[in-house]
Structure 1
Amino acid sequence: MEFQDVVRRRRMVRSYDPDRPVDPAVVERLLDNAVRAPSAGFSQGWGFLVLESAEDRARFWEATSDDAGDDGAPDGWLTGMMTAPLIVVPLSCKEIYLERYAQDDKGWTDKDESRWPVPYWDIDTGMASLLILQTAVDEGLGACFFGVPPARMEAFRTAFDVPAAYTPIGAITVGHKPADPAQTGAKGSPTRRARRDPGEVVHRGRWTARP
């Protein structure tokens, strides 16, 4: 698939064919591409928790979900997302970055976090996540990036023995799209909000006020 096609076709898919697992070779390609993301100082301070078995996926949803209805049943969003045969949780590690930039070739002699203008550990892991999303499109699959509720972080860590130094920046479901396009969960924000034109968000030379 041409790169521009990958960019145009990327959508957040919220429902999957539960009877079609993701080919193991494709799973490896998703991860191989993820680790090609750029990282400050080539720190590579990320980790990827891959959940493929029904048991692991059920444990993930139990640990992270706040979206059950009043009757305890999953709501429509969760019902669709739980059909994904693959979940990848990208995690960032701030400590790896602080240690990397305290090394001789970087010139800092301490691990003072205030030196960092933004949390590059999260940004770099986010770029790795986008490569997973784009690779999924290139493979003809659907995928969706979503957040882990802050109140559920500790339950997630406990469920999967995640070290305290690693923080999930979100999670990605991946799978084959259902045969019926209406079941892909397309009624997300893009169906209610128009995509902003580059003329609204691109500023050349200096920031220009927009009406």
Structure 2
Amino acid sequence: MEFAEVVRRRRMVRDYDPDRPVPPEVRERLLEHAIRAPSAGFSQGWAFLVLETAEDRDRFWTATSPAPEDPPSPDGWLIRMRRAPLLVIPLSHKAAYLDRYAEPDKGWTDRDGARWPVPYWDVDTGMAALLMLLTAVDEGLGACFFGVPPERVDAFRATFGVPEAYRPVGCVSVGYPGDGDRRSPSLRRGRRPVEEVVHRGSW
């Protein structure tokens, strides 16, 4: 598939065929492409938790779903999302960046996080997630990037033994789109045209 077509087709898929697992070779390509993402100072401050078995996926959804006393999901999207046969949780590692930029070739003598205008550890890990989304399209699969609720991060960490130094920036669900997959109502807002969002030379 041509790159322009991959970009054009990329969308968030929220329903999956539970009977069609992601082929192992495709899973590996997703991960191999993810680590091709750019990273400041080539810090590569990321990690990827891969969940494929039904048991592991159930543990993820149990850990990250609203507690029984919380309001239920407003629609059935979560039920359809749970059918995804592959979940990949990209995790950012801030310390890897602070350590890297304290090395002699970078010129900083401390690990002060205030030097960073934005948290590049999260930005770079997000770009790795985007490469997985694009790879899924190129492989004929669907994928979706969604967040882990902040109040459920501790439960997620405890369930999978994730060290405190690693932060989940979200989750990428991957699989073959199901029959019930439909476009998000949010798309009715329309895509903002280039002329509306690009400022050339000055604002």
* TM-score under structure 2 length normalisation: 0.96
1:189 aligns with 2:186: yes
Which residue of 180, 194, 200 corresponds with 1:204? 200
Per the TM alignment, residue 72 of structure 1 is displaced from its structure 2 partner at its CA by 7.2
User: Equivalents in 1 of 2:147, 2:70: separation in Å?
Assistant: 22
Deviations 1:97-153 (A, max 9, x none): 000000001000000011101100000000000000000000000000000000000
The one-letter amino acid paired with 2:128 is: A
Per the TM alignment, residue 185 of structure 1 is displaced from its structure 2 partner at its CA by 3.8
Deviations 1:19-55 (A, max 9, x none): 0000000000000000000000000000000000000
Query: Counterpart in 2 of 1:99?
Result: 99
Select between 46-55 and 75-84 the one with higher mean Cα deviation.
75-84
Query: Counterpart in 1 of 2:139?
Result: 139
Query: Counterpart in 2 of 1:53?
Result: 53
> Alpha carbons of 1:43 and 1:168: their partners in 2 closer, same or farther (altered >3 Å)?
same
User: Equivalents in 1 of 2:56, 2:74: separation in Å?
Assistant: 18
Per the TM alignment, residue 194 of structure 1 is displaced from its structure 2 partner at its CA by 0.4
How do residues 24-173 of structure 1 correspond to structure 2 at under 5 angstroms?
Answer: 24-66=24-66, 75-173=75-173
Gaps of 5+ in 1: none
Gaps of 5+ in 2: none
% identical aligned pairs: 67
User: Equivalents in 1 of 2:12, 2:194: separation in Å?
Assistant: 21
User: Equivalents in 2 of 1:73, 1:171: separation in Å?
Assistant: 18
User: Equivalents in 1 of 2:138, 2:109: separation in Å?
Assistant: 43
User: Equivalents in 1 of 2:40, 2:197: separation in Å?
Assistant: 26
The one-letter amino acid paired with 1:203 is: H
RMSD over equivalenced CA pairs, Å: 1.8
SS in structure 2 opposite 1:148? coil
Contact 2:66/2:72 (CA < 8 Å) preserved in 1? Answer: no
Per the TM alignment, residue 68 of structure 1 is displaced from its structure 2 partner at its CA by 7.2
The one-letter amino acid paired with 1:193 is: R
> Alpha carbons of 1:206 and 1:85: their partners in 2 closer, same or farther (altered >3 Å)?
same
Runs of 4+ in 1 over 6 A off after TM superposition: 67-74
User: Equivalents in 2 of 1:7, 1:94: separation in Å?
Assistant: 29
Report the number of matched residues: 203
User: Equivalents in 1 of 2:36, 2:30: separation in Å?
Assistant: 10
User: Equivalents in 1 of 2:38, 2:202: separation in Å?
Assistant: 27
> Alpha carbons of 1:97 and 1:18: their partners in 2 closer, same or farther (altered >3 Å)?
same
Per the TM alignment, residue 189 of structure 1 is displaced from its structure 2 partner at its CA by 1.4
* TM-score under structure 1 length normalisation: 0.92
> Alpha carbons of 1:102 and 1:75: their partners in 2 closer, same or farther (altered >3 Å)?
same
Contact 1:67/1:78 (CA < 8 Å) preserved in 2? Answer: no
Per the TM alignment, residue 75 of structure 1 is displaced from its structure 2 partner at its CA by 4.8
